[in-house]
Amino acid sequence: MKHLNRFFPTLIASLILLSSACASSQSTPAQTNAASADMVPNSTRTVTATSISAACPKINPEIQFKLPIGPGEFEESILNYLNEGGDPTKLQLTTTPPAVPAFYSLAADIDGDSLSEVVLSTHNLFEDPATIRIYHCQQNDYHLAKSFTPQSMSVGIIELVTKVFSSEPSFVIFRGRHNSGWGQDFFAVGWRESEWQIIHLATGTTPSEMALFDQDLDGIKEVFLETKTSATPGGGISRVVIDTYSWNGKEFISIGEAMPPGNDRVHYFEDAERAWKDRNPLLAVAYYEIAARDINLSSYWTTYEFERGQTELAAPYQQAFAYFRIVATWYYLDRPEIASQSIQEMSETFPDGKPGNEFVSAAQELAKWYATDSVFSSACAKAVDLLDTQYPDIVRNHLGDWGIANPMYFSTSDICKLE
């Protein structure tokens, strides 16, 4: 489910119930100060546990949590609430919350000792820097087991609790929004290899959505991130991209990306360009055919068209350009008989005097010179010369200026670049 606007949501209640009577006696894992290299752990607040009786304070439903006046008293108030018998699953404000929520929390067993830890994250406007804390209980007493302060994180929103490594306990997954800009990171926080760890999963833009799935059945889930190709003013029209990250033994690294079909003509130009990079010319033709013929696609305008109130020219020029690329590809593949069919079709679609007919003239020039020596490069160069001589501003004004997230065409000769 897509979360398009999740700026400063209301306080998240705890997700998993904590047992009110935890009387089992067992060993608690030793906790260390280690954290991933790109994180800043608060090592002064790490508590080392020993092998002692594990139990949690008995829950008193009358205990309610009250947010202290200053952030300096925040940690003490959390521990007082938990150790006086406050319900960890109801760790939330009882008074009217401030405009910006102070924290998010949940209770879940994330170290495999059958007792629930309390995991809590704060907002950087409440506490600087924003911090993720893990509270562990033993001998009927909660203590701070570990805290992390991921760099540039303005708030850590709890997403879910899930297994990441099949041989390790579950992790808490956080969405960490950046202090500035539209970026956000996803983190996994939990107990791994006998220590509390925070692991960076992926980075995307807003909006984005993340899923974990063991794609290669090796017992470690891959990270799939659905995000946008751009969220900047100069990015132009963005589109959905699915990035895949895999564990390499030390960290999650990008191993590939995929794009579902877009809804704008420039998206199909991008798909065609990618097909050429993969050396699949017929796939490129298929994308150009969609861009040329699908009247339901939108057509993102260039800066020139927008500033001069000519956005209605975006569609015909982009469609005509798509036809030209189809023609050029078939000549490149030495199939002039198929190319001639496309020239006929585009001539009927963009007759003399109509926007886009300039590319018809270029296609006809390409056909004429290819019939002379059957050399694509020289024939296409003649088509470029015709445009530069008779319509020198066509490419510059109506193609390629669609933002950095999309294909870029800077000169007339770019229309002949097929590799």
pLDDT tens for residues 87-99? 999 887 655 455 5
SS (H, E, C) 190-257: EEECCEEEEEEEEEEECCCEEEEECCCCCCECEEEEEEECCCCHHHCCCCEEEEEEEECCCCEEEEEE
- Which DSSP state fits 400? S
Convert 172-196 to b/e letters by CB count within 10 Å (16 or more is b). bbbbbbbeeebbbbbbbbbbbeeeb
Kindly report, residue by residue over 276-313, the tens digit of the pLDDT: 999 999 999 999 999 999 999 999 999 999 999 999 99
Contact between 367 and 340 (Cβ < 8 Å) = yes
pLDDT at 218: 97
How far out from the chain centre does Cα 201 lie?
A: 11
pLDDT at 234: 67
In the chain, where the domains are located: 39-258, 265-416
Phi, psi of 195 (to 5 degrees): -155, 160
The letter for the amino acid at 365 is E
Among candidate residues 277, 370, 290, 369, the one with its CA nearest the CA of residue 326: 290
The first and second tokens of residue 150, run together, are 């991921």
pLDDT at 48: 40
The first and second tokens of residue 68, run together, are 């202290």
What residues contact 100, with CB distance under 8 A and at least 6 apart?
A: 8, 123, 125, 126
pLDDT at 406: 87
Among candidate residues 262, 274, 265, 325, the one with its CA nearest the CA of residue 294: 265
Query: Above 60 in pLDDT, residue 20?
Result: no
The first and second tokens of residue 106, run together, are 């949940």
The letter for the amino acid at 337 is E
- Which DSSP state fits 409? -
Among candidate residues 242, 327, 239, the one with its CA nearest the CA of residue 284: 327
User: What is the residue whose two structure tokens read 């530069």?
Assistant: 388
In the chain, pLDDT over 90 holds for what percent of residues? 66
pTM: 0.76
Mean pLDDT of the chain: 85
Helix axes 376-390, 357-373, angle to 10 degrees: 140
Confidence of residue 170 (pLDDT cuts 50, 70, 90): very high
Separation of alpha carbons 188 and 252, rounded Å: 11
Among candidate residues 191, 184, 188, the one with its CA nearest the CA of residue 158: 188
Query: Above 90 in pLDDT, residue 229?
Result: no
Separation of alpha carbons 5 and 305, rounded Å: 31
pLDDT at 17: 30
Radius of gyration of the CA atoms of the chain, in A: 30
